[in-house]
Amino acid sequence: MPSSISIRNATLKLEGVEILHNLSWEVERGERWFILGPNGAGKTTLVKMMLGLIWPLYGAEISVLGQRYGQVDLAQVRKKIAWSSPFMQDWTCETMPGSLTILDVVLSGLDSTVGFYRTATKEELEKAHAVLDLLHAEKLADKLFVRTSSGEQIKALIGRTLIADPELVILDETCVHLDLTSREILLDAIDSIATRKRDTTMIFITQRIEEITASFTKGMILADGRIAAMGRREDILTPENLAVAFNGLKLKLVPGPGGRLWPFPLA
């Protein structure tokens, strides 16, 4: 079976500046990866490249879900990818009709529309409620999207992408604007997805070490557009690797509940 993601020798420039440097990465189907790095490390650029929104220099090879970029219809590939990010949330809040409920937003993923403009079937409603239950958000179904919190809106947007049964889920800095309570609720929901959708490949992108739950068993640390470390979670989440990524910052990592690690700077 083809890999979910296969990137070979990818160097990418934006406005003449080299953002990613000779990056190669292989993700097998059903794996759970995290990508960790500070601001400016190249994380968002890597995501945009995976989505075919920007292109590397000649000589790179990129395949997603077994489809070689440059030889396929990217619109068809993207239909199989669920991408959630704060950028999507900001755009959606500006364009979503104010009368839409959380349930409507989730249902809109079936038609890839901004808003839901038809009557859902019984089966579609059952599927939407099941997705909200997976995200621990069933009680939000009838709330107006524009009247809910940032954390609740993020859940709705993740549900919007999950209802289409994606083969690849990319969670791009989904916790960045959330308060502590909302973040912990969302991370718990993400763990539920990882546990119950075992055939779905998941990529979790963050700049915060403590957000990486035990569900994500493989990882990559990016620094200045280069891979600083890559491999099994326990092998790469070390003070030495993190110091390379975070400008030499010396950290102590303290294990917390659920296998998460909490960083504390050393004097």
- Give percent above pLDDT 90 in the chain: 52
Strands 261-265 and 61-64: unpaired
Position 96 scores a pLDDT of 59
Determine the average pLDDT of the residues in 36-45.
92
pLDDT, averaged across the chain: 88
Position 170 scores a pLDDT of 92
Position 146 scores a pLDDT of 84
Tell me which amino acid residue 17 is: V
Is pLDDT of 7 > 90? yes
pLDDT, tens digit, 9 for 90 and up, residues 72-116: 998 888 888 888 876 665 555 555 566 789 999 899 888 767 677
Rounded CA-CA distance 92/96 in Å is 6
pLDDT, tens digit, 9 for 90 and up, residues 120-170: 899 999 999 998 988 888 999 999 988 888 788 888 888 888 888 889 999
Position 114 scores a pLDDT of 67
Is pLDDT of 195 > 90? no
Measured CA distances, 5 to 8, 34, 42, 223, 255 (Å): 10, 13, 17, 20, 30
